[in-house]
Amino acid sequence: MEGALQYGKVGSKLRSGVPVPMLVFFTAYAGIKFYDARPPSPLLLTAIFEDVLIPKIAQDNNVEIKDIRKNQRVEVEVSIDEILETLNKQYSFNLFCNNNAEHQMPKREWIIADCQMLVDKKESEWIVKDSSIRMFFKKYDNILNHFKEICSDSDIDEDQPSLPFT
């Protein structure tokens, strides 16, 4: 038989497969939030605020987030590259792709688009357009709900595919 494997046991295993416990996949993929589809803006912005801005505020200003008053605004300067690197290391397939830029998630253009929306909503301002930004951090009861509200009336295209009708 042409294309048959010399070792019958190996061929048998390849044909029938080998069961792998789901726990293996849960462990390996549990922290992955971003893949090749653009996430909804509220989720990406929440990740930026929680995983980039909050640690940066604590480090740069030597202040605990719990010490910031609810109506207080803290300005945080951050580069798009810093946001990209932090989120890529924490929440993407980076570990599996050996820092391959093609597989870098989230994509730079997604971050820039969402940061531009924050600029349009007066919650940030560009220091250098598409490169570094000054974000205005405020405490919210629920940061995700805040971003849902400000994104609900934005014009950002979430790349929702349309269904062809025949």
Place of tokens 């994509």: 107
Q: Centre a 10 Å sphere on the Cβ of residue 11 and count the other Cβ atoms it contains.
A: 13
Domain boundaries, the chain: 30-152
CA atoms within 13 A on the CB side of 149: 6
Task: Name the 3-class secondary structure at 137.
Answer: strand
92-130 pLDDT, tens digit per residue, is 777 666 666 666 778 899 999 999 999 999 999 999 999
Length of the chain as a residue count: 166
**Tokens linked to 95:** 């570990």
Secondary structure class of 124 (helix, strand, coil): strand
pLDDT of 95 reads: 63
**What confidence tens digit (pLDDT) does each residue in 19-57 have?**
888 888 777 777 788 878 889 999 999 999 999 999 998
**This prediction's pTM:** 0.73
